[in-house]
Amino acid sequence: MRVIAGERKGFRLDTPRGEQTRPTSDRLREALFSILGGVEGLAVFDPFAGSGALGLEALSRGAGTADFCDTSTAALRALRDNIERLGYGDRARVRRQDARRRMAADHGAGVTYELILIDPPYRMLPALQMHFALHLPALLVPDGLVTIESPAASGPLDLPLAIETTRLHGDVRLTVYRHA
């Protein structure tokens, strides 16, 4: 895996070993950021971070800050190493925390983001839908975007956000929602 574009284009990213983490492929990240367009200066949240590929891609493309969380020790080690090697220590915050708890805590604290990049374990999606519906609208600024990766065979999640687009890329569905 590598950073696709921006100031750190071509940098290789460490990924945790094992099957616990499923990194977003280079091709899918390229498609995602092509859909999103410019991310310069945005506050980004990567709640199921893994190696941090999505949030780090956003930082390389000019995002202002990125908040990451994950619970896997191996993923957090790879993520912290990636942040250090890419020189983003001053623009990235990492927490060892369950994404659902982090979303609920940020919602309660009034924290907002301009872009939320969600790539959860697919088996968790049915259980996450209600949680996303409750917290995502409060976590997004007006006109903010959230992207969700899911299996191609499933439809977009039913959320109280406007669907900007949904596209299939192989066996993955990529849906972009906008907070109207």
Q: How far is CA 13 from CA 1, 64, 141, 146, 157, in A?
A: 6, 20, 30, 23, 29
User: Does residue 5 belong to any structural domain of this protein?
Assistant: no
Q: Which range of residues forms the domain containing residue 142?
A: 26-178
97 with 76: CB under 8 angstroms? no
pLDDT at 18: 55
- pTM assigned to the model: 0.94
CATH number at residue 89: 3.40.50.150
**Helix H or strand E segment including 93:** strand 92-96
- Counted domains in the chain: 1
User: Does residue 14 belong to any structural domain of this protein?
Assistant: no
120 with 145: CB under 8 angstroms? no
pLDDT at 106: 97
Per-residue pLDDT for the chain (180 aa), expressed as one digit of tens each?
Answer: 899 999 999 999 998 875 555 667 788 899 999 999 999 999 999 999 999 999 999 999 999 999 999 999 999 999 999 999 999 999 999 999 999 999 999 999 999 999 999 999 999 999 999 999 999 999 999 999 999 999 999 989 999 999 999 999 999 999 999 998
